């Protein structure tokens, strides 16, 4: 698995609540910090006060092997009650792309979270460059970390939306 190939990861969950209820939690950029082992929180960037296409926010994260960092993210997909997507760092060549997708079901809402690494430069790419022979293992490990945090976030949203 190579970074240049844009590896992806996803997780999904069924939620016994209407899409409107799930949506209000999905667009709260601070919410994943309640469930993620890495994401510390986010604030809307200067001039932005909420979600809309093109809006920017600054996310803060921490990893035991990397330390703390922050990144500017730009909303590139915004369809109320259906899609909430952002890119990390440069919108033309993002370090990562993230999205939530909502799909109404008979019993409520299917919520999916998805992410793609790259294709732009990132701290992960710098780590890979120092150990190119371990790229597959590094990428696979990072995707596993992301999936675990996605599952925790989706479970958290489910509890809030159903509660």
Task: Tell me the pLDDT tens digit for each residue of 51-68.
Answer: 999 999 999 999 998 899
* Helix, strand or coil, per DSSP, at residue 159: helix
Parallel, antiparallel, or unpaired: how do β-strands 8-15 and 67-79 relate?
unpaired
Task: Give the bridge partners for 8, in sequence order.
Answer: 116
How far is the C-alpha of 121 from the C-alpha of 128, rounded, in Å?
Answer: 11
pLDDT for the residue numbered 66 = 85
pLDDT for the residue numbered 130 = 93
∠ CA 145-70-146 to the nearest 5 degrees?
10
pLDDT digits (tens, 9 = 90+) for 84-142: 999 999 999 999 999 999 999 999 999 999 999 999 999 898 899 999 999 999 999 99
pLDDT for the residue numbered 65 = 83
pTM of the model: 0.94
Q: Which two tokens stand for residue 121?
A: 């430069």
């Amino acid at each position: 698995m190579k970074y240049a190939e844009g590896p992806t990861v996803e997780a999904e969950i069924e939620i016994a609540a209407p899409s409107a209820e799930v949506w209000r939690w999905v667009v709260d950029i601070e919410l994943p910090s309640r469930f993620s082992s890495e994401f510390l929180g986010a604030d809307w960037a200067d001039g932005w006060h909420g979600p809309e296409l093109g809006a920017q926010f600054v996310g803060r994260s921490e990893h035991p092997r990397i330390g703390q960092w922050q990144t500017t993210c730009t909303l590139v997909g915004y369809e109320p009650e259906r899609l909430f997507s952002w890119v990390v760092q440069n919108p033309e060549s993002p370090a990562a792309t993230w999205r939530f997708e909502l799909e109404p079901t008979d019993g409520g809402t299917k919520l999916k979270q998805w992410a793609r690494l790259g294709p732009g430069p990132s701290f992960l790419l710098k780590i890979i460059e120092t150990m190119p022979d371990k790229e597959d293992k590094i990428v696979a490990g990072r995707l596993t970390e992301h999936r675990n945090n996605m599952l925790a976030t989706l479970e958290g949203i489910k509890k809030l939306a159903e509660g």
